[in-house]
Structure 1
């Protein structure tokens, strides 16, 4: 008997180049902020990343200065007990502001607990952005109004939500894009891989921005991933990937703008890894000196994202001393307003404890709420 034909559903060979990231992170600015002599094409497919407009760069600079002052003020408030905890994003401003500015008002942002700077850059009231960290409510802002999902504390669970929303919006016929912010630690979670796999299969218009700050709390990247870079995880799911200097605001804006608009146009999902550094502790309860050296932190401070962008804008004659002082003054007014509004204790109603847990409360929760209200009224 002759050999029987083998039936297979395996795909024929496909050129993997479209999914591979650039061999080195895309960067427009030198370490000290001076403009590099560069070609706007990077990567194996010679992808083009046009430089952002002057207006966008100036907006990014102002929002980064504002965001850093916000972060510093929030850190102080946590030390004073006005916030339960604060996960600082000091040093990651280019990633968070870049993510906010790359999106349209109709797009959706899916942030984590460390992404308050992205929230305020998107126009959310700073007190509402800090509500979760103050412990007053699960979310202080209206997600639908701001097209911003509640901040996610469990690692990577929101990545699947972003994929589902993006796919749902496409089914409705909109051109909405979802962007999920995740950390390097989240890339080791199963939810992250499930989200990428589903996004790749559905070709959902979603962008995953990994803020690789080198540590998953205290675990260095070298001890959780053996890949050349986290961006290479995209090829396993048929997702276009790129890696970018996350402390270069111009490069972050350039890459994210291309990724978001390509996803919007039907090009499918993107995975962008931003190489950055958390200059502060993991949270206000952490001591980073226990797991990283002062010399390492100093090297990254020399690549401060705000200093680099400011230097580049000054070199191009787009930013003056008066402009920098005006941005700093605006940030001080912003911080003073936060201090004043967080100086008083919130007025919380215990009878609302069972509210907003379910859209339609189940019988047992409704009974608990009624019992609570009866007990409070009897006091």
Structure 2
């Protein structure tokens, strides 16, 4: 029933699958059988829930071509054996450069040409073409890589017959020429970009941990810690890439001929490190969005705190002004008392000469005048 729903043509003329699949379903027999196998494999992978019907449709489209190739015996066989680095070294059949080249090539297609050693999962085995011990069927390998990247098989055994693409049979994969100077230029550009990301993370962390931030909360601290973790991973990759750059320039690897074993091995190491740094870069994109939101919140909180600071400043000025006035009043009172003390001795002794008409006591009048002037100034200032 599900197969009929997948291949039927709607009233609008649309169909979930290509016309070739519809024709095979109508023909029946063996051609219909491989469609049923493809559907069963799709359901087995995705699940039987009704909500996953769209996922089953997408998986069915991919499986149709793969299963049909398998049913028509269009499989490619590559004979070889799984070996570890230690086995290759002990056999004596391979030089150090050859071993490095084999590992670098297999590392480019980890889903197809590498696997964990069943006796010790920390050791990696590499598929070495030998044509004597084991058989690797590309259709089975293709099914494995559909769960990851469709391009993992394009480099398997390039010198022995046609290659499988994502869905179709392709031509021999041509290996791009590795030029040392171009590798150096690309690596330099990538390192500059990575360094810029690390610097931007440093600025963001400094903003989140600024002691002047109004009421820092757990969100600031959590974001700063996550940014530190991303920066740490990026710095590790940057260090490895810097070592590769040193080897390219100092050891003059970039001057070697294209496709040199040492150069190819170094390029494989650079590519692996670039793949590792993709995850921290993706995390940084998410954290940058959170940082922008928190930065806006910080700016808004600072704007709210500014008016209270401005209101506090006039109060301080008023306090200082009133303090100055009190000090000045105290000085005036002290001078007034001194003037009175000067007059009192003269009255007691009686020796003071009485001023004649039109004459005034110079000492007393000057002191009183000064005090009166100060009082009048204070009165005018208060009136103002």
Q: TM-score, normalised by structure 2?
A: 0.20
Which has a greater percent of helix? 2
User: What TM-score, normalized to structure 1?
Assistant: 0.21
**Relative contact order higher in (CA < 8 Å, ≥ 6 apart):** 1
